[in-house]
């Protein structure tokens, strides 16, 4: 779905998290950044993915990674999701899909024979200089941290 590839400059995004705080690519200079896009807060697959990242958060921190989740949910839905599962990382509420479209993860999907537009579950690993190190399109929700940290 996305046209971004390893070696590309990451989009210079700016988005607001569950608490109304703005996050942009420049805020993470000098850190590795994992930006994971998920279809909908509090759904089974998205919960499994975010909980796996939460459970491995110390491993990410030890390797100088910051994590940022993104979906088109409202700030209220993101806050509820974050609080319920005690995620130690922010969740962007990208209702107008600016960040989602900047990364190219919005597009046609199929579910139970129906076609619709939605977010493709995709993770971008961005290095300290803002260059994309890896694009993971085949996300394994229950073991996603292992896909990233290898």
**Cβ contact 90:70 at 8 Å:** no
**Cβ contact 28:97 at 8 Å:** no
Gap between the Cα atoms of 111 and 34, Å rounded = 27
Which residues contact residue 5 at a Cβ distance below 8 angstroms, ignoring those fewer than 6 apart? 132, 135
Q: Does 51 qualify as catalytic in the annotation?
A: no
Catalytic residue among 35, 46, 68, 126: 46
Place of tokens 């409202």: 74
Gap between the Cα atoms of 142 and 150, Å rounded = 14
Q: How far is CA 54 from CA 89, 90, 94, 129, in A?
A: 8, 11, 21, 24
By annotation, the residues acting in catalysis are 46
């Amino acid at each position: 779905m996305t046209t971004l590839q390893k070696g590309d400059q990451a989009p210079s995004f700016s988005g607001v998290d569950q608490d109304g705080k703005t996050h942009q690519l420049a805020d993470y200079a000098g850190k590795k950044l994992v930006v994971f896009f998920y279809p909908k807060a509090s759904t089974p697959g998205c919960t499994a993915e975010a909980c796996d990242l939460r459970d491995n958060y110390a491993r990410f921190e030890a390797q100088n990674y910051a994590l940022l989740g993104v979906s088109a949910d409202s700030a209220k839905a993101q806050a509820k999701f974050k609080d319920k599962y005690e995620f130690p990382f922010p969740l962007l509420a990208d209702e107008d899909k600016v960040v989602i479209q900047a990364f190219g993860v919005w597009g046609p999907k199929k579910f139970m024979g129906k076609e619709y537009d939605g977010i493709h579950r995709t993770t971008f690993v961005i290095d300290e200089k803002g260059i994309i190190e890896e694009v993971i399109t085949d996300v394994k929700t229950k073991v996603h941290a292992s896909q990233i940290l290898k």
